[in-house]
Amino acid sequence: MMIAYSRIIPRIFRRTIDDDVESPTYTIAETLRAEGYEIANRIGIRQGKPNRKVIGILKPKEPVRRSNWGYSWTEKQRSLHFGNIWFDNEKKGAIPNERWVAEGYGRETYDELTTLVKNLAAERGVEIEIRLLTERAKTEMYLGG
């Protein structure tokens, strides 16, 4: 029991409030929102506050107009989750403030993701590695029903 406990404590105390303040994710989230994108977690669930290790990028879709028997309405569509940017993940090769890893979902949005993340990385002077993970784009996920 003492061995497991001694491994957990350094992990807890290694992360401080300064880690969140100094993380680039807050400024990147603001930049993405200013360009018309939304942020999500790594699996595509929309978030208000960014995670300090990864940001998922959502591209909103236009609402669909529907009509039936003289009634018309608009239905909101799920956003397109077309990529993640990893800032801190050793297994993926992302090193904070040195090297980021971008993962793309969908060949049709790969060029847009590439342009977007290259501009973000160039502004901050970090390396970027871009990977295409799936041929088809994912859609935004929701919790609950």
Q: Pick from 130, 133, 137: which is nearest to 108 by CA?
A: 137
Q: 80: exposed, middle or buried (C-beta count within 10 Å: 0-12, 13-18, 19+)? A: buried
Phi/psi at 69 (5° precision): 55, 40
What's the whole-model pTM score? Answer: 0.76
Question: According to the model, what pLDDT value does residue 61 have?
Answer: 87
Q: Go through 96-127 and write b for each residue having 16 or more CB atoms within 10 A of its CB, e for each that does not.
A: beebbbbbbbbeebbebbbebbeebbeeeebe
What tens-digit pLDDT sequence spans the chain (145 residues)? Answer: 455 555 555 555 555 544 555 678 899 999 999 999 999 999 999 998 998 999 999 999 888 888 888 888 888 888 899 999 999 999 999 998 899 999 999 999 899 999 999 999 999 999 999 999 999 888 888 776 5
How far is Cα of residue 144 from the mean position of the Cα atoms in its chain? 20
Question: According to the model, what pLDDT value does residue 70 have?
Answer: 84
**Residue type for 43, please?**
I
Question: According to the model, what pLDDT value does residue 1 have?
Answer: 47
Q: Pick from 86, 129, 138, 85: which is nearest to 107 by CA?
A: 138
Question: According to the model, what pLDDT value does residue 38 have?
Answer: 94
For residues 51 and 27, give the distance between their C-alpha atoms in angstroms, rounded to a whole number: 12
Question: According to the model, what pLDDT value does residue 77 have?
Answer: 85
